[in-house]
Amino acid sequence: MATTLYYEYNGSDAWATTTAPTGIAYSCVTATAAGGTSLPLVASGDTWYVTNQVVQDAVTISGTISMHQWMWETSMSANCCAGIKIERRSGTGAYISTILEAYNSSTELPTANTAINWSATPTSTTLDAGDKIAISFWAGNVGTMAAGYAVYAKMSGLNTEGDSYVQFTENITFTDRVTRTGSFPVASVIKASSGTKTFAVAALIPGGVTTQTGTFPVAAAKSLVGGCVWTTPGNGVSIGSTDPLRFYMPTICPSPMHFNMQLDTSSSFNSGNLRDLNSYVDQAGWEYWNGGSWVAVPSTGVPVTYLGNEARYTPQTELTSATWYRRVRAEGV
């Protein structure tokens, strides 16, 4: 089943959503440039429309992507066409890779608001659970772009004037940030001959996941919160022996939060290689995202202000050549 993402804007904020718009249409614009080839359209400073939910199940984007963009230019002398850029983003919105950059260069834009329907083939890209998608309007050239004009696009409106959208061939499922209690998702880490390791277990959320139902030893003074969700590395992705292991923190906790991660070469987490890592004992390698940068987890725990953001642990000792398993949970201080 195809997936449609609509451009949405409310006069101050821009985002992408699977819900068809029902309100009034808003415009974004760019001024043309002499000899220009690639210009972003801007609405009150916003260029990108990022999904307001994260990808639920890992999926590979490779099929044709169809565009339905309400656009026009102010003069046929502008020599402009519709364009698109689509990016893979992390759960915090950070750029990961470009899925598609394309221009409908065979057709010049009209001078009246018109639905421009066209398609292009993306770079095959695997989205992991927890990723986001960002879409945007761009103007390209048909021949030589001329300066002194403008290109407009409309979004957020009804289908008669501004329901601009992008449609993917694949079925992409989205969800709000998921928290879990109870069993712990586990992904295996396989050491490759090249000296890297590969996570090779089915998507961590929401179903079909390998789980471990054993218990962690927890100090009596710690309150179990749970609910961490792995974000990266994704399953089947090769990584270095000390690459960070990232996850979403739970969104609800009555107190600052610490983490307990276990890494082992046994899926039962009971071998002699078990690494039992506790951020409340040793903060080395533990960081969280504060909305602008990665900062070290303090001895007092992650402040409740940042719950729901990503956290990560960077192994302080290289993972040896073996198959490893991982699990993590959070604890209120």
CB 179 within 8 A of CB 250: yes
Beta strands in 215-322 (DSSP E): 223-224, 229-232, 238-239, 245-248, 257-264, 275-278, 286-289, 294-296, 310-313
Whole-prediction pTM: 0.57
In this prediction, residue 288 carries a pLDDT of 95
How many CA atoms lie within 13 Å of 114's alpha carbon, on the beta-carbon side?
15
pLDDT the model gives residue 171? 96
β partners of residue 98: 87
Predicted confidence pLDDT, tens digits, the chain (333 residues): 899 999 998 877 889 999 998 888 899 999 999 999 999 999 878 899 999 888 988 999 999 999 999 999 999 999 999 999 999 998 888 899 999 999 999 999 999 999 999 999 999 999 998 899 999 999 999 999 999 999 999 999 877 789 999 999 999 999 875 433 344 444 433 333 333 443 333 323 333 333 344 444 433 323 345 578 888 876 656 667 888 899 888 877 778 889 999 988 888 888 888 999 999 889 999 999 998 899 999 999 999 888 888 999 999 998 887 777 888 888 887
Neighbours of 204 (CB within 10 A): 27
* Domains of the chain, residue spans: 3-174, 179-332
pLDDT at residue 211, rounded to an integer: 36
Candidates 2.60.120.260, 2.40.33.20, 2.30.130.40, 3.90.950.20; correct CATH number of 3-174?
Answer: 2.60.120.260
At position 116, the amino acid (one-letter code) is I
